[in-house]
């Protein structure tokens, strides 16, 4: 990293790094050690607040609350990259970010196990009606009774979405002696003794516990509504630790009130407070058989630290070498840093002829290309060129002036 620092073109101390939503100290320390001076904001910013500050920001770190919209991105003249210090990236307009030449990084695996652990803990809490009994005891009511309380051993759990978290839930559930089914739109290799099923309806029909681990997409929005609740086993339980809009909470409330659904554990909501100071409201509040948690599935010290290091690391690597490995909206390009060499990074519109135009500009100043790599994704192309001749900023300007260029940087 030390060698890279000497090669860096834009002074680190002038680079504005804005970290919102209480990003972990491990990331802050990593950035400070690398020579940056991150500015920290505890909560999320509204769109208007973000639009005001974003023009001077080079690196933006957010978690799940700050919405990085097309409007904000169109004002982000200096922005190099956005780091989502979480798993989901639907809070960022990814297509707009790509069009503006801004890769978006996330941490897809850092909190997988944390979510899986809470899911299984809640399965047991629901089966034993322990959350309700705890609430009663806080109010001085001693309700020692086995009525309606069951072991989870020999029950079945249906996992919707078998990506990163789903299989971990399955493994932990098996350790409790549960029979595991899963449904995914993609063919997925089962872990342990899990059994794939071919439709959501089939999964709902045979599961005592249904747990959701899908992303929010147009297809998963309200994927559990009145019809799916009707298809569940009488007295089954529903858990949602994925994204709030995957469940129609009004339909779930009706299912709970009728007794069709015996209980639910909900960690994510269609509308969530932006900070801990804002009030929370949802239709399930006050229901005895519902465990509500404030989107804490992935909120462990281990996960936050892992996320901080992982996303902080990918953002630093992009800033200092141009590598976009792990970006969710961008061509993946990785080229080892070579000493005594200048590196041009050009983000451009993905149209024919870009490479030859850039190479003729480089040839025009008599520079020799040492290494070159180009990758494209959708409307965007990303080129890294290492050249071994002294080059001036004039070359960067000439390449940047091409109609096809979105952003051009030089590292040296």
- Active-site residue, selected from the candidate residues 295, 342, 343, 396: 295
- Active-site residue, selected from the candidate residues 272, 305, 334, 370: 272
Q: Which residues contact 286 (CB under 8 A, 6 or more apart)?
A: none
The answer to whether residue 243 is catalytic is yes
Decide: is 198 part of the binding site for ligand NAI (CB under 6 A).
no
Decide: is 343 part of the binding site for ligand NAI (CB under 6 A).
no
Site for ligand NAI in 64-123 (CB under 6 A): 87-88, 108, 111-112, 115
Decide: is 186 part of the binding site for ligand NAI (CB under 6 A).
yes
Nearest to 223 by CA among 233, 208, 213: 213
Q: State which of residues 238, 268, 290, 410 lies at the interface with ligand NAI (CB under 6 A).
A: 268
Q: State which of residues 36, 85, 181, 183 lies at the interface with ligand NAI (CB under 6 A).
A: 183
> What SS3 string covers the chain?
CHHHHHHCCCCHHHCCEEECCCCCHHHHHHHHHCCCCCEECCCCCCHHHHHHHHHHCCEEEECCCCCECHHHHHHCCCCCEEEECCCCCCCECHHHHHHCCCCEECCCCCCHHHHHHHHHHHHHHHHCCHHHHHHHHHCCCCCCCCCCCCCCCCCEEEEECCCCHHHHHHHHHHHCCCEEEEECCCCCCCCCCCEECCCHHHHHHCCCEEEECCCCCCCCCCCECHHHHHHCCCCEEEEECCCHHHECHHHHHHHHHHCCEEEEEECCCCCCCCCCCCCCCCCCCCCCCEEECCCCCCCCHHHHHHHHHHHHHHHHHHHHHCCCCCECCCCCCCCCCCCCCEEEEEEEECCCCHHHHHHHHHHHCCCCEEEEEEEEECCEEEEEEEECCCCCHHHHHHHHCCCCEEEEEEEC
Q: Residue 213: how many CB atoms within 10 A of its CB?
A: 29
Of 29 and 216, CB closest to ligand NAI: 216
φ, ψ dihedrals at 145, nearest 5°: -155, 145
Nearest to 407 by CA among 152, 97, 146: 97
Question: In whole angstroms, how close is the CB of 57 to ligand NAI at the nearest point?
Answer: 25
The stretch near ligand NAI (CB under 6 A) out of 54-62, 127-135, 208-216, 364-372 is 208-216
Site size toward ligand NAI, by CB under 6 A: 32
Question: In whole angstroms, how close is the CB of 360 to ligand NAI at the nearest point?
Answer: 42
The stretch near ligand NAI (CB under 6 A) out of 122-130, 142-150, 154-162, 393-401 is 154-162
- Active-site residue, selected from the candidate residues 24, 100, 213, 243: 243
Is-contact 371 405, C-beta < 8 A? Answer: no
Question: In whole angstroms, how close is the CB of 86 to ligand NAI at the nearest point?
Answer: 7
Q: Angle CA(114)–CA(135)–CA(275) in degrees, nearest 5?
A: 50
Q: State which of residues 100, 132, 133, 213 lies at the interface with ligand NAI (CB under 6 A).
A: 213
The stretch near ligand NAI (CB under 6 A) out of 211-219, 311-319, 330-338, 398-406 is 211-219
Is-contact 373 343, C-beta < 8 A? Answer: no
Question: In whole angstroms, how close is the CB of 220 to ligand NAI at the nearest point?
Answer: 5
Residue facing ligand NAI at closest CB distance? 163
Of 328 and 345, CB closest to ligand NAI: 328
Question: In whole angstroms, how close is the CB of 97 to ligand NAI at the nearest point?
Answer: 18
Q: State which of residues 1, 149, 185, 363 lies at the interface with ligand NAI (CB under 6 A).
A: 185
Decide: is 196 part of the binding site for ligand NAI (CB under 6 A).
no
Question: In whole angstroms, how close is the CB of 135 to ligand NAI at the nearest point?
Answer: 22
Of 118 and 256, CB closest to ligand NAI: 118
The answer to whether residue 320 is catalytic is no
Site for ligand NAI in 158-177 (CB under 6 A): 160-166
Of 330 and 382, CB closest to ligand NAI: 330
Decide: is 295 part of the binding site for ligand NAI (CB under 6 A).
yes
Residue 212 tokens read as 């959701």
The stretch near ligand NAI (CB under 6 A) out of 5-13, 68-76, 293-301, 401-409 is 293-301
Site for ligand NAI in 232-251 (CB under 6 A): 241-243
What are the residues binding ligand NAI (CB under 6 A)?
87-88, 108, 111-112, 115, 160-166, 183-186, 213-217, 219-220, 241-243, 267-268, 295, 297-298
Q: What amino acid positions are annotated as catalytic residues?
A: 243, 272, 295
């Amino acid at each position: 990293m030390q060698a890279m620092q000497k090669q860096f073109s834009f002074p680190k101390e002038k680079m504005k790094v804005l970290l919102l939503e209480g990003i972990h100290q491990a990331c802050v320390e990593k950035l400070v050690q690398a020579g940056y001076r991150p500015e920290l904001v505890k909560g999320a910013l509204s769109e208007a607040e973000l639009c005001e500050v974003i023009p001077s920001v080079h690196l933006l770190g957010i978690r799940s609350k700050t919405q990085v919209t097309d409007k904000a991105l169109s004002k982000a003249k200096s922005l190099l990259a956005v780091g989502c210090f979480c798993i989901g990236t639907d809070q960022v307009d990814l297509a707009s970010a790509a069009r503006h030449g801004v890769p978006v990084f996330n941490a897809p695996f850092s909190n997988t196990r944390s979510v899986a652990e809470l899911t299984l803990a809640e399965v047991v809490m629901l089966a034993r009606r322990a959350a309700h009994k705890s609430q009663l005891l806080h109010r001085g009511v001693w309700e020692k009774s086995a009525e309606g309380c069951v072991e989870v051993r020999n029950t079945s759990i249906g996992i919707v979405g078998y990506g990163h978290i789903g299989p971990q839930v399955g493994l932990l559930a098996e350790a409790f002696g549960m029979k595991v089914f899963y449904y995914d739109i993609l063919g997925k290799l089962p872990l342990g003794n899990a059994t794939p099923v071919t439709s959501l309806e089939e999964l709902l029909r045979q599961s005592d516990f249904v747990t959701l681990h899908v992303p929010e997409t147009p297809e998963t929005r309200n994927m559990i509504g009145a019809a799916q609740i009707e298809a569940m086993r009488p007295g089954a339980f529903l858990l949602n630790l994925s994204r709030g809009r995957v469940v129609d909470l009004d339909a779930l409330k009706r299912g709970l009130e009728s007794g069709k659904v015996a209980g639910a554990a909900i960690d994510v909501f269609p509308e969530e407070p932006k900070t801990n100071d804002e009030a929370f409201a949802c239709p399930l509040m006050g229901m005895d058989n519902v465990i509500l948690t404030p989107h804490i599935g992935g909120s462990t010290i281990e996960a936050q630290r892992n996320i901080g290091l992982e996303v902080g690391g990918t953002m630093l690597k992009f800033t200092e070498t141009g590598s976009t490995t792990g970006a969710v909206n961008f061509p993946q390009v990785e080229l080892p840093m070579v000493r005594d060499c200048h590196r041009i990074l050009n983000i451009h519109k993905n149209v024919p002829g870009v490479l030859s135009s850039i190479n003729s500009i480089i040839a025009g100043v008599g520079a020799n290309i040492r290494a070159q790599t180009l990758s494209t994704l959708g409307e965007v192309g990303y080129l890294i060129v290492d050249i071994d001749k002294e080059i001036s900023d004039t070359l960067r300007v000439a390449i940047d002036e091409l109609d096809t260029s979105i952003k051009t940087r030089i590292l040296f």
